Amino acid sequence: MRAVPAGGTEEAAAEAPVGVAAGRLHAAAPEVDPEERALLAFAVAFKGLLRGRMRDAVCVRAEACVARGDLPEEALTEEPIYRWWSAALRAQQDFYVDVTAAIVDRQLEALAATARTIARDPGPGSLTLDPSVRVPTYQAAVDIHCVPGSYFLERIADDVGPGARSELGSLAFAMGRHGAMNEDKGVVAAEFARSFAPDLAIRRILDLGCTIGMSTLAWCDAFPAAEVHAVDVSAPCLRYGHARARALGRCVHFRQADAEALPYPDGSFDVVASHILLHETSRAALPRIFAECHRVLVPGGAMVHVEVPIRDLDPAAAFLARWDAWNNNEPFWGHLAGLDLAGLCVQAGFPQEGVVETVVPSAHQKAGGWLVLAARKPA
Amino acid sequence: MRAPSRDARRRAIPPRPRAALGARPRLLASADSEVLLAMIVALAAEVHRLEDRHDRLLAALARDGVKLPEEAGPASARAPRAEALVERVFRVFDEMAERALRGDDEPYPDVVDRLGRPEGP
């Protein structure tokens, strides 16, 4: 059973219909006052309209386009319902991003000070930053998810702002459907790893592109005896993630590193995982990331990537699934849907027969489940 | 020497950027309409914030034993306020969805024409 921090904040988050409770999620988290929570509740209610009946109607129109033999890309974009739905969805995205950024902004220095204190105090896990790590070009090309400054904005010493905003934003975005602490992807990945490699003694785990470690902590819970490591290129997110993990009583070794050039010796980990990292990379980066996964795995080790299920969809669903690629600054999302991922795994050294690509259900209420790409290094 | 005030320290922090890097897609026929839509969304959210504040004030008064007028409503009725506001402000989206779901898109002049034909219904 997972440790619940003092104050029962995980329960508070679980009860919050908007995914973000008023107050503080944990000791390192931004405080959300009741007025800010009201704004987030509005954002979530608005998203509920757009992701509910309006999306259903857009789906029906997209299917009608396909049935007529029209390309949704051409025909649907002329229809008012699609245009207004898209414009409203983008306006909703901009709105909740701005609200969450403002919440963090008003307490930016206090959040940095809290994270600094938590990091200085004795506690589990570690944080290793490396200023020589560069933001990959695929992350620098646009601000992912239309968040101004993305994951890398640093305005004060020891800034944790992008990490804190990421936590609030993720919870509001998921509307509580990805778990009280947005841990769904990690729970799914850990459960999958256990069944995918039942003979594997999982003692050392690496999470790639961990952001603030929301999925990472699920690995701590699933394998409490294992040593859990997590890397990301964003220093503000790692600072926040380290403080967050400690505040929630989990032991994670965070390190600033690029998934294309991992600072670990060959054969360091039993499992290498990622959680919706792949669609935020690039065509050129993927083979290098898979090759690094292969290199740092022990013989017999398992690679488990969890992704948004955007592959093998019918044309109408595929068109709608690409909405984020075109309108929410996810430039590689659409490309990933068409890639031979299994082929790239084989190219990286994983045997073809050991590569699995499947869709698994959410451990919470996330509709459509998750795509899992997994492979094992020969023993 | 006095320590800088909290406001002065805040002013020393560079302002957060407001525009995400990456060209904005144009989704409606007019970019101006998208600007107005963004303002409407923000204003509707402000209305909800004020409604929520009003509710919390009423709840505080009730806790203090102040007898409230009936129209203030019980606390249980306040829960779906955000959804109700969204439904009212964006009613037109619901209308669009309903029409699209039932395929109600025959142009009205066509209906007039169809009903006027001798061989029509």
pLDDT digits (tens, 9 = 90+) for A117-162: 999 999 999 999 999 999 999 999 999 999 999 999 999 999 999 9
The C-alpha of B30 sits at a distance from chain A's nearest C-alpha, in angstroms, of: 11
What is the helix (H) or strand (E) element at residue A255, kind and residue range?
Answer: strand A253-256
CB contact under 8 A, A61 and B86: no
Please report, for chain B, the start and end positions of each structural domain, with discontinuous segments joined by +: 28-116
Q: What CATH code is carried by the domain that includes residue A323?
A: 3.40.50.150
Task: Find the mean pLDDT for residues B88-106.
Answer: 86
Does B22 contact chain A (CB < 8 Å)? yes
Among the partner-chain residues A57, A85, A92, the one whose CB lies closest to the CB of B41 is A92
Is the domain of A168 the same as that of A269? Answer: no
State yes or no: pLDDT of B4 exceeds 70. no
Is the domain of A163 the same as that of A251? Answer: no
Q: Residue B80: closest CA among chain A residues belongs to which residue?
A: A45
Determine the pLDDT at residue B74.
57
For residue B12, name the pLDDT band (cuts at 50, 70, 90): confident
For residue B111, name the pLDDT band (cuts at 50, 70, 90): confident
Is the domain of A244 the same as that of A156? Answer: no
Determine the pLDDT at residue A2.
30
CB contact under 8 A, B82 and A41: yes
Task: Find the mean pLDDT for residues B94-114.
Answer: 84
Select from A32, A35, A46, A135 the residue whose CB has the most chain B CBs within 10 Å, as the one to mutate to test that interface: A46
What's the number of domains chain A is made of? 2
Q: Is A232 helix (H, G, I), strand (E, B) or coil?
A: strand
CB contact under 8 A, B28 and A34: no
The C-alpha of A283 sits at a distance from chain B's nearest C-alpha, in angstroms, of: 19
Q: Residue B23: closest CA among chain A residues belongs to which residue?
A: A142
Determine the pLDDT at residue B73.
62
For residue B1, name the pLDDT band (cuts at 50, 70, 90): very low
Q: How many CB pairs under 8 A join A and B?
A: 146
Max Cα–Cα distance, chain A, nearest Å: 65
Determine the pLDDT at residue A270.
98
> Containing domain of residue A300, as a range?
184-376
CB contact under 8 A, B93 and A108: no
| Inside any domain, residue A142 | no
State yes or no: pLDDT of B96 exceeds 60. yes
If one compares B71 and A140, the residue with the highest pLDDT of the two is A140
CA separation for the pair B52, A145 (Å, rounded): 28
If one compares B9 and A44, the residue with the highest pLDDT of the two is A44
DSSP A117-173: HHHHSS-SSEEE--TTPPPPHHHHSS-GGG-TTTTT---STT--HHHHHHHHHHHHH
Is the domain of A77 the same as that of A217? Answer: no
- What is the gyration radius of the CA atoms in chain A, in angstroms? 20
Give pLDDT < 50 ranges for chain A. Answer: 1-17
Determine the pLDDT at residue A19.
59
Is the domain of A301 the same as that of A359? Answer: yes
pTM for this structure?
0.89
Is the domain of A348 the same as that of A368? Answer: yes
List, in order, residues 6 or more apart from A228 with CB less than 8 Å away.
A205, A207, A216, A219, A220, A250, A251, A252, A253
Its sign, for the CA torsion B31, A78, A328, A141, is negative
Contacts of A38 in chain B (CB under 8 A): 48-49, 51-53, 82
Determine the pLDDT at residue B3.
57
| Tokens encoding B57 | 């004030």
Does B55 contact chain A (CB < 8 Å)? no
